[in-house]
Amino acid sequence: MSSSPFSLNGEIALITGGGTGLGLATARRMADAGARVVIVGRREAPLREAAGKNLHYIVHDVTDLDRADDLIQRAATVAGGTPTILVNNAGNHLKKWAVETSIDEFRNLLDTHVLASFALSKAIAPSMISTRKGSIIFIASMASLFGIPQVLAYTAAKSAYTGMVRALATELSPRGVRVNAIAPGWIHSAIQQSAFEGDAERAEKILSRTPMGRLGEPDDIAYAAVYLSSPAAKFVTGSTLVVDGGISIGF
């Protein structure tokens, strides 16, 4: 019997920001699909709690750009092989009017999202190129697609993701490495629920614009990441897969 085209057997996935939320959901679903997974984050407690069979962890700050190569080597050690999948998921957020956003705050978001993901993608690319096999995924955002007030720095960072995906795909795909993004809509989480409770008007606006009329679940993003990393997506590169309940086309 042939294996499922959605199987990740034999793959090793490195997922940043993997201790909670979308990163953790992605780690669990990739492990379910057969991959050995290494999750990365700054706080050990949630990483340790999440760890289990085929799910290892490393405490690391992705903004420590000079240690990107070291992280890849450490991941290879704990997982028993060099990662064949990289999910650039680590990030931070800032809800502030543009005129109130400081240069340091703006720079902090760019460091965490853009420079960190570039450093890791650059560090992991040579091994993927050498085997002509690899999948790099960037977790983008609705802010990559349309304007949202009070998130200028976050929008700049997430918009950079989609540009990086297109450029990296043109460079790496001829060498066997696929590069894609996932743009989640509004996903149910404790943080999202807290934000809605403090801004009922925004919550109503989001749900009214979403054709499916509800928030997504973390697994909706996780399964999209499994698909993009699997043989089922072997001809998909340079794409941004929108998983948003239709909000980006809603009215």
As separate numbers, helices (DSSP H) first and strands (DSSP E) second, the chain gives 9, 7
The active-site residue, picked from 154, 161, 223, 227, is 154
Question: What is the CA angle 47-51-54, rounded to 5?
Answer: 135
Q: Following DSSP, what letter does each residue of 206-237 receive, concatenated?
A: HHHH-TT-S-B-HHHHHHHHHHHHSGGGTT--
**Closest to 67 in 3D by CA, of 18, 16, 22:** 16
Q: Count the alpha carbons within 13 Å of 174 in the hemisphere toward its beta carbon.
A: 3
223 flagged as catalytic: no
H-state helical runs in 34-80: 44-50, 68-79
Residues labelled catalytic = 154
